[in-house]
Amino acid sequence: EAGVTQFPSHSVIEKGQTVTLRCDPISGHDNLYWYRRVMGKEIKFLLHFVKESKQDESGMPNNRFLAERTGGTYSTLKVQPAELEDSGVYFCASSQELAANTGELFFGEGSRLTVL
Amino acid sequence: AQTVTQSQPEMSVQEAETVTLSCTYDTSESDYYLFWYKQPPSRQMILVIRQEAYKQQNATENRFSVNFQKAAKSFSLKISDSQLGDAAMYFCAYGEETSGSRLTFGEGTQLTVNP
């Protein structure tokens, strides 16, 4: 069974540019989450999809971030325009049940974003 | 807001020995879940062990066990008979049903296992 895959693994962009990160969850997982780890600090929740619907986007830092999950399959996270403080590792995770109940989150390897 | 604190940025252990990673959290809830995740170098993060707050018995998964002290809001991870493959970043995490989707993570502890 394929795991959660994320693309690209590393992206280096200039401040002001746009970057789109992609996540392919495990097939059949309705729940998809985006998390971010900045500067070696804690991993912070960004948002949660149930199928194609945004269930909780309370962690999105600002309107420069746009997440989509068209058709309830893969998801994209676009940062436009990117700022220096957006640098970090963006993790995607998926699960069959809600994360807080089972903790059985399946993570991707993360997409490292460097904004210069 | 719930917070999770891991006070040990780095830890090291000799192969075959035991190491304990610390985690404390802050919450006003009585029902919640606690987790330890492990991220090996260049690999996906995986769930190591899970504890429900309503259970008094400490969770155990083979060489991994927790010491859950609810009153003290402490949730440490003990790794027995450490192996080279245990070397990884370990994250403590908190979740509750009322915030169904969101896990709160600590800053992580980098564990080195010396041969």
Among the partner-chain residues B97, B102, B105, the one whose CB lies closest to the CB of A42 is: B105
Residue B80 tokens, joined: 């027995």
Q: Which residues of A touch B37 (CB under 8 A)?
A: 105, 107
CB B104 within 8 A of CB B6: no
A93-110 pLDDT per residue, tens: 998 877 666 767 899 999
How long a stretch of residues is chain B?
115
The predicted structure's pLDDT at residue B35: 93
Name which of B42, B47, B107 is nearest A105 (Cβ-Cβ): B47
Span A20-32, average pLDDT: 94
Residue B49 has which token pair?
A: 């062990």
Q: What is the mean pLDDT of chain B?
A: 93
Residues of A with CB below 8 A from B4's CB? 42
Is residue B28 within 8 A of residue B47, CB to CB? The reply is: no
Model pLDDT, residue A101: 67
Q: Are A99 and B44 in contact (CB < 8 Å)?
A: no
> Which residue among A3, A48, A103 sits closest to B44, beta carbon to beta carbon?
A3
pLDDT at A2: 78
Q: Taking residues A69-85, what's their average pLDDT?
A: 94
pLDDT digits (tens, 9 = 90+) for B24-73: 999 988 888 999 999 998 788 999 999 999 888 999 999 999 999 999 99
Question: What Å distances lie between residue B86 and A50, A59, A93, B81, CA to CA?
Answer: 33, 31, 22, 10
Do you know the residue count of chain A? 116
Question: Which pLDDT score, from 0 to 100, does residue B81 have?
Answer: 97
d(CA A115, CA A79): 11
- Each residue's pLDDT tens digit, A51-71: 999 999 999 999 999 999 988
* Residue B103 touches partner A, C-beta closer than 8 Å: yes
